[in-house]
Amino acid sequence: MEPVNDEISHGTPLTQQDVSSYTIAPMLVFQIDKWRRAHGGGGRSLRVLDYGCGRGRTLFRLRELGYEAYGVDVDPSPIENGRVLARMLGLDAQRVLTPLDANGRTAYEDDFFDLTSSFQVFEHVQDIDAAARELARITRPGGAGIHVFPPRWYPIEGHLAMPFVHWLPKNRSRYALIRAWVALGVEAKLRAYEGLDAKQRAEKFHRFLNEETAYRSCGDVVRAFRAAGLRVRVVSIESPNVVRRLGRVLDVPGVRTALNWLLSRCASIHLLYEKPSAVARIGRAEDDDCLVAEARPL
């Protein structure tokens, strides 16, 4: 998903220049490539789904890297703008980019994908149980999913660039805090809001946060995916940035487990699932606190 404060508008057709200048989140690239090296595609390109694709920059970049990538989104408008580029590239635009239906289902067949992925999307999904069931349906046995999203207790609401507003209930207290941050100049600078006064911006921020976000704990998401029949691990500690900065500190007994818990609770949740098969198994996450540590390769 392309964030609301992205300078590239969902309202304009996607171009090849947009794709070429775009960088996929390093954690997604790391985990997708890791899975490819471990499992391969049996002589064919791996089928990858970008769940919450916006206009499709990630899926087109993945295609440039040799993956057979597809995208789905709840909003049909950016899908149409991504299809412009798909047609220019000679792809089946209606197949490569598709909107979710009213029940959150995709147009793809059972067991179609080797991998599914998303980046900063699950905090927008209103029915995480339905999303988990659908991702389970379209992932092949032995296939996997790699999904990165912020936890409920991350201190900054990333779309509004405001601290703590998403911690509060959806009532006037949330709105009051948003008004206070706007008055202090602590807010996302959005082109669409240029020319609006402080009260109008606060109202729009409040409406967006209430209607288009649904922050959850790590344990809530893990439970939804396990209920869909998937095996789950949370590996926030495997972030290339974290590993590079901490190095051998992670080898100290207990450090990896403790930091994985802390990161998945307060920084970023990196959820990996696998659809079980007779020959493929991964570890199981702890429901209550997302303690997953000594991560084996997918």
Which domains does the chain carry? 16-151+215-274 (3.40.50.150), 156-212 (no CATH)
From CA 58, how far away is CA 71, in angstroms rounded? 9
From CA 52, how far away is CA 72, in angstroms rounded? 6
pLDDT value of residue 44: 73
pLDDT value of residue 243: 79
Tell me the whole-structure pTM to 2 decimals: 0.87
pLDDT value of residue 287: 43
pLDDT value of residue 4: 46
pLDDT tens sequence across 53-76:
999 999 999 999 999 999 999 999
Cα distances from 175 to residues 125, 165, 204, 212, in angstroms, run 21, 8, 10, 15
Q: Which residues of the chain carry a pLDDT beneath 50?
A: 1-8, 279-289, 291-298
pLDDT tens sequence across 169-184:
999 999 999 999 999 9
What's CA 9's distance to the chain center, in Å?
19
pLDDT value of residue 11: 74
pLDDT value of residue 260: 85
Q: Work out the end-to-end distance of the chain between its first and last CA atoms, rounded to an integer number of angstroms.
A: 24
Burial letters 34-60, b for 16+ CB under 10 A, else e = ebbeebeeeeeebbbbbbbbbbbbbbb
Which residues does 79 contact at the CB level (< 8 Å), separation at least 6?
A: 53, 55, 56, 71, 73, 97, 98, 99
pLDDT value of residue 197: 96
Cα distances from 55 to residues 60, 68, 118, in angstroms, run 10, 17, 13
pLDDT value of residue 297: 38
pLDDT value of residue 20: 93
